[in-house]
């Protein structure tokens, strides 16, 4: 790792409410959250030195989004780095902006993401994302199938049951009932017994909820200029790591840190977390709250294990002992998780967790507030964990 | 393409015959690659790519084992089938550990009772017709069937 010139602070952020109006374009979505963030710090758009943004919308032409984005946000002629890395895209964008701030090249950077998934036939388009297209997608093996076999393998390897997944999902729904930004907020809360049923309907309640069109963003600043924008800056660090894109290569892949794991673990997240912890100067035992990108309950458990919050294969016990609840030393998914806050792909899957931790550190989470939270961790993954991101926020006031 | 639609219309995932041509050895007969420097075997093939193990660039074609055992299985019954496979539900998705140690993801064919698809069950590769593309061409590729004698 190279020399880092200064620490990076998060000074603002915003996310659209679930199910943004259908008549909003993606430009309106991104302008909405950017404007909201600018209001928080009393700044003008052109004060931004650079933008790093992720997207997931196949109706726009990939190569031309940068200038469109710069124009829509009113930051033109400032640079906009566009990232396409599936649901972890915002994490990669955050990595890019973090580097620009930490190096001293930029003072204030915007990390942004949007998904206008209702612009196209989502399931057909999503079929190919993350799979090794020549040998999976073209032979009819989809994105969802990847998740199904991964979950089946994890359950068998570590003796995890539907009941364990139901407990995970139940806690996510419990938090989402206390988060007005969650996609399931205000909807009937499923009973634990209902979530434990071995039915297709219960399985869907144990999996991610769609958020519809969404955008979210955070503003990052150098530590020496952060007090221009807020009196409560939060240190932000981020790292990400790759795994092979083909799911068969999750077994025995000949790279250090990968070969000893298989489909039942997330070594990419473990590597990313270790780097993020090193940047932040913390250990997993110091984390007070964790937000996990979980499209199924099982992979949520795998992520908690990869972060080192509990040993590998033991998240089911962590849940059973109340590890996800507000009474725990490290509550999990107070935002509601992908299961109940909602899945927003490149539009929110990383930033939603970062924002929740930011608000937790500032004591702004109401009924779901974690007492005296100082350090929060969040994750996001793309392409079925061939890309894993880990973000850390720390209170600095 | 049907004469009903004389204008070209966009379908983002229209397949490229060039892609099909390039991947046929892998799809038809499970041809992967092996690094001649360190011996590591790979599927999908890494033709012309760098070996993640020894960092050399010396791949040669390798015929993967066509028998193996099931490492994980799941029934695709959640209701969002791949395009072109809507009439074949529910499909049985598997991760297979081939007898040479390579793992691949595939679909198990000719399953009469999904309950008999269990980790450890022996399987062998078969070449099967998959689906008809909008170019009119039939797509062929590997699948697996249960075979205790394999």
Residue B66 tokens read as 């066509």
Closest alpha carbon within chain A to B42? A249
Please tell me the predicted confidence (pLDDT) of residue B10. 46
Is A150 in Cβ contact with B72 (below 8 Å)? Answer: yes
Chain A, chain B: beta-carbon pairs less than 8 Å apart = 121
Please tell me the predicted confidence (pLDDT) of residue A134. 73
Is A249 in Cβ contact with B107 (below 8 Å)? Answer: no
Considering only CB atoms, B104 lies closest to which of A142, A248, A252, namely A248
Compute the distance between CA of residue A360 and CA of residue A335 in angstroms, rounded to an integer: 10
Q: Identify whether the C-beta of residue A343 lies closer than 8 Å to the C-beta of residue A295.
A: yes
CA distances from A51 to A78, A82, A163, A221 (A): 8, 8, 43, 12
HEC string of chain A? CCCCCCCEEEEEEEECCCCCCCCCCHHHHHHHHHHHHHHHHCCCHHHCCEEEEEEECCCCCHHHHHHHHHHHHCCCCCCEEEECECECHHHHHHHHHHHHHHCCCCCEEEEEEEECHHHCCHHHHHCCCCCCCCCCHHHCCCHHHHHHHHHHHHHHHHCCCHHHHHHHHHHHHHHHCCCCCCCCCCCCCCCHHHHCCCCHHHHHHCECCECCCEEEEEEEEECCCHHHCCCCCEEEEEEEEECCCCHHHHCCCCCCCCCCCCCCCCHHHHHHHHHHHHHHCCCHHHCCEEECCCCEHHHHHHHHHHCCCCCCCCHHHHHHCCCCCCCCCCCECCCCHHHHHCECHHHCCCHHHHHHHHHHHCCCCHHHCCCCCCEEEEEEEECCCCEEEEEEEEECC
Please count the CA atoms within 13 angstroms of the CA of A266 that sit on its side-chain side.
36
What is the number of other CB atoms lying within 10 angstroms of the CB of residue A209? 24
Q: Identify whether the C-beta of residue B46 lies closer than 8 Å to the C-beta of residue B59.
A: yes
Instruction: Give the contacts of A154 (CB within 8 A, at least 6 positions apart).
Output: A160, A263, A264, A298, A299, A301, A302
Which of A231, A209, A212 has the alpha carbon at shortest distance from A335?
A209
pLDDT in tens, B87-137: 777 889 999 999 999 999 999 999 988 888 999 999 999 999 988 776 777
Instruction: Give the contacts of A275 (CB within 8 A, at least 6 positions apart).
Output: A1, A239, A241, A390
Is B119 in Cβ contact with A140 (below 8 Å)? Answer: no
Please tell me the predicted confidence (pLDDT) of residue A118. 62
* Residue of A131, A134, A135 for testing the chain B interface, max B β-carbons within 10 Å: A135
pTM of the full structure: 0.94
* Residue of A138, A205, A251, A263 for testing the chain B interface, max B β-carbons within 10 Å: A138
Considering only CB atoms, A134 lies closest to which of B19, B75, B79, namely B19
Compute the distance between CA of residue A208 and CA of residue A214 in angstroms, rounded to an integer: 15
The residue with greater pLDDT, A262 or A64, is A262
Please tell me the predicted confidence (pLDDT) of residue B137. 77
Which of B70, B129, B119 has the alpha carbon at shortest distance from B96?
B70
The predicted model gives A269-290 an average pLDDT of 98
Please tell me the predicted confidence (pLDDT) of residue A126. 47
What is the number of other CB atoms lying within 10 angstroms of the CB of residue A41? 16
Maximum CA extent, chain B: 55
Is A252 in Cβ contact with B101 (below 8 Å)? Answer: yes
What is the number of other CB atoms lying within 10 angstroms of the CB of residue A388? 28
Compute the distance between CA of residue A122 and CA of residue A115 in angstroms, rounded to an integer: 11
The residue with greater pLDDT, A61 or A187, is A187
Q: Kindly list the residues from chain A whose CB atom is less than 8 angstroms away from the CB atom of residue B102.
A: 248
Please tell me the predicted confidence (pLDDT) of residue A19. 85
List residues in chain A touching B: CB distance below 8 A: 58, 120, 123-125, 127-128, 132, 134-142, 144-146, 148-153, 156, 200, 203-204, 246-255, 263
Cis peptide before A51 (omega within 30 of 0): no
Average pLDDT, chain A: 92
Smallest CA–CA separation between B85 and chain A, in Å?
7
Q: Kindly list the residues from chain A whose CB atom is less than 8 angstroms away from the CB atom of residue B83.
A: 124, 127
Is residue B8 scored above 70 in pLDDT?
Answer: no
pLDDT in tens, A331-364: 999 999 999 999 998 999 999 999 999 999 999 9
Please tell me the predicted confidence (pLDDT) of residue B20. 76
Please tell me the predicted confidence (pLDDT) of residue B25. 93
Please tell me the predicted confidence (pLDDT) of residue B9. 47
Is A204 in Cβ contact with B52 (below 8 Å)? Answer: no
Considering only CB atoms, A127 lies closest to which of B40, B82, B106, namely B82
The residue with greater pLDDT, B56 or A211, is B56
The predicted model gives B37-61 an average pLDDT of 96
Please tell me the predicted confidence (pLDDT) of residue A22. 83
Compute the distance between CA of residue B126 and CA of residue B117 in angstroms, rounded to an integer: 17
pLDDT in tens, A41-82: 999 999 999 999 998 766 565 557 899 999 999 999 999 999
Closest alpha carbon within chain A to B141? A139
3-state secondary structure of B4: coil
Please tell me the predicted confidence (pLDDT) of residue A116. 79
Q: What are phi and psi of A64, to 5 degrees?
A: -120, 10
3-state secondary structure of B139: strand
Confidence of residue A197 (pLDDT cuts 50, 70, 90): very high
A16: left (phi over 0), alpha (psi -120 to 50) or beta: beta
Confidence of residue B14 (pLDDT cuts 50, 70, 90): low
Please tell me the predicted confidence (pLDDT) of residue B22. 84
Smallest CA–CA separation between B6 and chain A, in Å?
23
Please tell me the predicted confidence (pLDDT) of residue A122. 45
H or E segment and range at residue B9: none
Smallest CA–CA separation between A126 and chain B, in Å?
10
What is the number of other CB atoms lying within 10 angstroms of the CB of residue A133? 17
Please tell me which of A21-30, A158-167, B20-29, B130-139 the model is most confident about, judged by mean pLDDT. Answer: A158-167
Say what percent of chain A tops pLDDT 70.
94
């Amino acid at each position: 790792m190279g020399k880092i010139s200064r620490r990076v602070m998060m000074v603002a952020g915003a996310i659209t409410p679930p199910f943004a109006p259908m008549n909003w374009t993606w430009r309106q979505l991104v302008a909405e959250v950017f404007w909201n963030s600018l209001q928080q710090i009393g700044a003008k758009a052109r004060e931004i030195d650079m933008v790093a943004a992720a997207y997931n919308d196949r109706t726009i032409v990939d190569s031309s989004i940068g200038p469109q984005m710069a124009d829509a946000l009113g930051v033109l002629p400032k640079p906009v780095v566009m990232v396409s890395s599936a649901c972890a895209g915002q994490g990669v964008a955050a990595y890019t902006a973090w580097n620009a701030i930490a190096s001293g090249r930029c003072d204030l950077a915007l990390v942004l993401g949007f998904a206008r998934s209702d612009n196209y036939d989502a399931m057909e388009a999503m079929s190919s994302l993350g799979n090794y297209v020549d040998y999976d997608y073209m032979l009819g093996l989809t994105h969802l199938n990847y998740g199904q076999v991964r979950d089946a393998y994890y359950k068998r390897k570590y003796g995890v049951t539907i009941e364990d997944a139901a407990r995970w999902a139940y806690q996510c729904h419990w938090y989402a009932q206390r988060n007005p930004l969650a996609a399931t907020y205000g909807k009937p809360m499923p009973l634990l017994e209902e979530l434990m049923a071995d039915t297709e309907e219960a399985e869907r309640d144990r999996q991610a909820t769609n958020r519809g069109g969404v955008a979210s963003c955070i503003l990052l600043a150098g530590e020496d200029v952060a007090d221009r924008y807020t009196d409560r800056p939060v240190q932000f660090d981020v790292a990400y790591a790759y795994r092979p894109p083909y799911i068969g290569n999750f077994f025995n892949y000949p790279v250090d840190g990968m070969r000893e794991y298989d489909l039942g673990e997330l070594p990419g997240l473990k590597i990313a977390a270790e780097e993020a912890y090193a940047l932040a100067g913390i250990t997993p035992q110091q984390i007070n709250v964790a937000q996990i990108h979980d499209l199924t309950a099982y992979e949520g458990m795998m992520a908690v294990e990869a972060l080192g919050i509990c040993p590998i294969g033991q998240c089911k016990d962590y849940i059973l002992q109340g590890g996800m609840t507000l009474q725990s030393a490290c509550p999990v998914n107070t935002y509601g998780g992908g299961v109940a806050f909602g899945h927003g792909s490149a539009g929110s899957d990383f930033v939603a967790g970062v924002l929740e931790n930011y608000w937790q550190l500032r004591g702004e989470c109401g009924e779901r507030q974690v007492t005296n939270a100082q350090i929060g961790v969040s994750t996001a993954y793309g392409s079925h964990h061939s890309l894993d991101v880990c973000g850390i926020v720390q209170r600095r006031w | 393409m049907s004469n009903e639609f004389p204008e070209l219309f966009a379908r983002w995932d229209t397949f490229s015959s060039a892609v099909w041509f390039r991947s046929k050895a892998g799809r038809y007969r499970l041809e992967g690659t092996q690094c001649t420097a360190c011996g590591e075997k790979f599927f999908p093939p890494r033709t012309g790519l760098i070996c993640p193990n020894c960092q050399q660039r010396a791949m040669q074609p390798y015929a993967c084992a066509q028998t193996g055992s099931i490492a994980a299985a799941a029934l695709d019954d959640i209701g969002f089938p791949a395009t072109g496979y809507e009439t074949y539900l529910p499909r049985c998705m598997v991760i297979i550990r081939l007898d040479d140690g390579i793992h691949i993801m595939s679909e198990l064919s000719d399953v009469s009772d999904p309950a008999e698809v269990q980790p450890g069950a022996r399987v062998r590769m078969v070449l099967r017709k998959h689906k008809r593309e909008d170019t009119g061409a039939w797509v062929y590729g590997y699948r697996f069937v249960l075979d205790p004698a394999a």
